[in-house]
């Protein structure tokens, strides 16, 4: 019976140690999950900002192209007027 009591106490001690390790591991897992979720959110935010930036860049390029075309047309018109004045 003494031997069984010793085994029982050792088993309880082992269970306590395993439970402590399990608790620590669970806490580490929770902390990592929070970090993962934060990183995932940041990545999603940056991807959305990148999409918005690309759209703005495309819009600005389009506006510049339209302006260049308009100025080229005006320049051509003014050159024709100047040419007509000298003829």
Tokens of 82: 């100047």
pTM of the model: 0.61
Site of tokens 């506006």: 63
pLDDT recorded at residue 72: 97
pLDDT recorded at residue 80: 92
pLDDT recorded at residue 85: 83
pLDDT recorded at residue 46: 98
Query: What residues in the chain have per-residue pLDDT under 70?
Result: 87
Give the model confidence (pLDDT) of 49-66 as tens digits: 999 999 999 999 999 999
The torsion defined by the Cα of 58, 64, 67 and 71, in degrees rounded to 10, comes to: -150
């Amino acid at each position: 019976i003494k031997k069984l009591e010793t085994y029982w106490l050792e088993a309880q001690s082992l269970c306590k140690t395993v439970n402590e390790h399990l608790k620590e591991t669970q806490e580490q897992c929770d902390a990592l999950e929070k970090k993962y979720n934060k990183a995932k959110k940041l990545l999603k935010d940056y991807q959305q900002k990148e999409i918005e930036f690309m759209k703005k860049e495309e819009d600005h390029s389009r506006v510049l192209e339209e302006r260049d075309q308009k100025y080229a047309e005006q320049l051509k018109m003014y050159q024709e007027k100047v040419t007509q004045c000298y003829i």
